[in-house]
Amino acid sequence: MATKVTVNNNGPLRLEGEFAIQDPTGSAFGLAGRTVISLCRCGFSENKPFCDGAHARNGFQSVCEARELPPPKPKV
């Protein structure tokens, strides 16, 4: 099953499926077998990169509608 990412309006990124989350050094976060997780978009979470609901307490607003991206630029 492909990983599904949902951009929640005024909230987090929700990941569903099989995935790994790593820090910049390549060390994996222990997800304890979770196949659904929410990642913070607002920057207020005390548990970054994971959402702790702080977006609702701080009035975070961001509405994202699906759109087509332009083709990637050729690599030189």
For the whole model, what pTM was predicted? Answer: 0.89
Q: Which fold has domain 1-65?
A: Ribosomal Protein L9; domain 1 (3.40.5)
Place of tokens 């009035």: 59
User: Would you kindly state where each structural domain of the chain is located, as residue ranges?
Assistant: 1-65
Mean pLDDT per block of 10 residues along the chain (76 residues) reads 94 97 97 97 98 97 97 93
Kindly write down the DSSP assignment for every residue of 8-22, as one continuous string: -TTS-EEEESS---B
